[in-house]
């Protein structure tokens, strides 16, 4: 089992809320290649979720988080990649965006995010954080890269459209 963090840094843009998104197109053998994701990564030995969050954001963006809130825990179950526990955050940040070794960073208006190439599971939890769902536990089950089940807060949500 693997522990990771994922953060959506949010700012107020000229036309509303914008999320800092990472288009994964630079890293070799990247399971996220060709997808837009938030920023984050794997825990290092002995790190807490918050320590991992702060380190990964700084490494990938050059930004310093000024405020952050844990929004949920997402359990990924996969017949290919094993199980992953992801600690999901929203945040605000200060500083200048730097170069990212994993892909291209871009501010995306919130209303355009779901039209980007995303993991199907991201399309389940992004509306939860955008809709101010206070905190959730979400289990996403994949066969290959196909989402086959989503369970929100322990209840069966096989009809994913119910969540969206």
| pLDDT score for 164 | 39
Q: Would you place residue 62 in the very low, low, confident or very high pLDDT band (cuts 50, 70, 90)?
A: very high
For residues 150-160, average pLDDT: 70
Domain residue extents for the chain: 2-162
SS (H, E, C) the chain: CEEEEEEEEEEEECCEEEEEEEEECCCCCCCCCCCEECEEEECCCCCCHHHHHHHHHHHHHCCEEEEEEEEEEEEEEECCCCCEEEEEEEEEEECCCCCCCCEEEEEEEHHHHHHCCCCCCHHHHHHHHHCCCCCEEEEEEEECCEEEEEEECCEECCCHHHCC
Portion of the chain with pLDDT greater than 90, in percent? 77
For 4-22, write each residue's pLDDT tens digit. 999 999 999 888 999 999 9
Token pair belonging to 53: 């969050």
Q: How far apart are CA 19 and CA 12, in angstroms?
A: 9
The predicted structure's pLDDT at residue 151: 92
* pLDDT on residue 146: 93
Q: Is 56 exposed, middle or buried (0-12, 13-18, 19+ CB in 10 A)?
A: buried
**What number is the average pLDDT over the span 73-101?**
95
pLDDT tens for 93-138 read 999 999 999 999 999 999 999 999 999 999 999 999 998 788 999 9
On the question of pLDDT at 161 being above 60, the answer is no
Cα gap 27→51, rounded to integer Å: 23
Q: Cβ–Cβ contacts within 10 Å for residue 110, how many?
A: 16
What is the CATH class of 2-162?
alpha beta
């Amino acid at each position: 089992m693997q522990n990771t963090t994922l953060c959506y840094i949010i700012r107020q843009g000229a036309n509303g809320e914008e999320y800092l998104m990472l288009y994964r197109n630079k890293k070799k053998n990247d399971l996220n290649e060709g997808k837009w994701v938030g920023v984050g990564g794997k825990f290092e030995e002995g790190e807490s979720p918050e320590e991992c969050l702060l380190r990964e954001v700084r490494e990938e963006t050059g930004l310093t988080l000024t405020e952050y809130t844990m929004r949920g825990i997402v359990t990924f179950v996969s017949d290919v990649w094993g199980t992953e526990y992801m600690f999901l955050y929203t945040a605000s940040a200060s500083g200048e965006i730097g170069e990212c070794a994993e892909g291209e960073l871009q501010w995306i208006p919130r209303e355009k995010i779901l039209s980007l190439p995303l993991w199907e599971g991201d399309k389940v939890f992004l509306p939860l954080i955008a809709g101010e769902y206070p905190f959730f536990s979400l289990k996403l089950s994949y066969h290959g890269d196909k989402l086959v089940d989503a369970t929100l807060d322990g209840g069966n949500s096989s009809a994913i459209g119910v969540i969206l």
